[in-house]
Amino acid sequence: MNRYIATKPEIYIGRESNRQLYLHQKIRCVDLEQEWNLSNEKSIGLLGYACDAGVKRNQGRKGAAKGPNAIRKVLGKMPNHLAENVVFSDFGTIKGPADEMENAQALLASKTSHLLQMNVFPILLGGSHDIAYGHYNGLKTPMGSDKTIGIINFDAHFDLRSNESGNNSGTPFYQIAQDCQTEGKPFHYLALGIRQDANDKLLFETASTLGVDYVENRNFDLSHFTTVENALDKFIERVDHIYVTIDLDGFSSAYSPGVSAPSPMGFSPDIVLKCLEKIITSKKLQSLDLAEMNPKYDIDNQTAKLAASLIHFVIHSI
């Protein structure tokens, strides 16, 4: 089975203009299985992860496999403010049908590594949060063995569940932590927006044992930004590179109903944008992904619009 699918240009539609005023006119679709090259210094690329096997294994609501294309359709209609010399590409999608999650993660890691080696800033579109394990493994070779990678996760959940009974969408950061221990490397993980009503006592104990930094959701808003900023400053200072992952189920369902595990108790977009601005300013951000986009449960494309708006902010800020 072919687990890689090139994106068809027809998915990107929107208003027409003769000056590339919209992103659907700017973006180009590239088949990673064909020869390609980049001549420009600045390049940004999308890569999809159409897999929700991890959610199924974690007893969640399936549907996130259709997340990447839902985001693409909304993003293409948004205005283009990118400089002419910036290349914006769509590099297709990794599929993870049935229970082939580990194979999909391995292919995702390989393609992500390739993009980074070609000086592309990757933005990965999920798919369930097991995208994080494949994504992180794709960073290790291009970043270099002597450099530290810090993970910043915007999420209601730690996703530090033990994988003794198998890997799923709730285990990626536990898996990464175990790999770091095996490789004799530090595990740097900052989780922002953690909720007590979304994590059991064992998960908080695991976070403590692994030395995880986190800010609980009750302090994750603009009124507590000094607390959040201090946590970010300390974390950013001690790592060489940063990988950001945004789980859309961390947002309040008022903003993000189309996810596998919605809750009205989540955070709002303004604090995430403020944090992203700070992370980008550090010049350490190397890649980003968005997880748990589930169009099956979306309302008027609200969640897809939120995801696309976050991407729009990042590509115009880096």
Is the predicted pLDDT of residue 145 greater than 90, yes or no?
A: no
pLDDT tens column, 163-217? 998 999 999 999 999 999 999 999 999 999 999 999 999 999 999 999 999 999 9
Q: Residue 35 has what pLDDT?
A: 74
247 is known to lie in a ligand binding site: yes
pLDDT in tens, 23-42: 999 999 999 988 777 666 68
Polymer length of the chain? 318
Asked whether the beta carbons of 268 and 311 are under 8 A apart, the reply is no
Residue 34, pLDDT score = 87
DSSP state of 295: G
- Residue 147 pLDDT > 80, yes or no? yes
pLDDT of 98 over the 90 cut: no
In this prediction, residue 1 carries a pLDDT of 59
- Helices 67-75 and 302-315, packing angle to 10 deg: 60
Query: What is the DSSP pairing of strand 213-216 with strand 241-247?
Result: unpaired
The answer to whether 249 is annotated as binding is yes
> Is 52 assigned to a binding site?
no
pLDDT at 39: 60
DSSP 6: P
* Domains in the chain, CATH or no CATH each: 4-315 (3.40.800.10)
**Per the annotation, does 129 bind a ligand?**
yes
Range with the lowest mean pLDDT among 55-59, 86-90, 301-305? Answer: 55-59
Burial class (CB in 10 A: 0-12, 13-18, 19+), 15: exposed
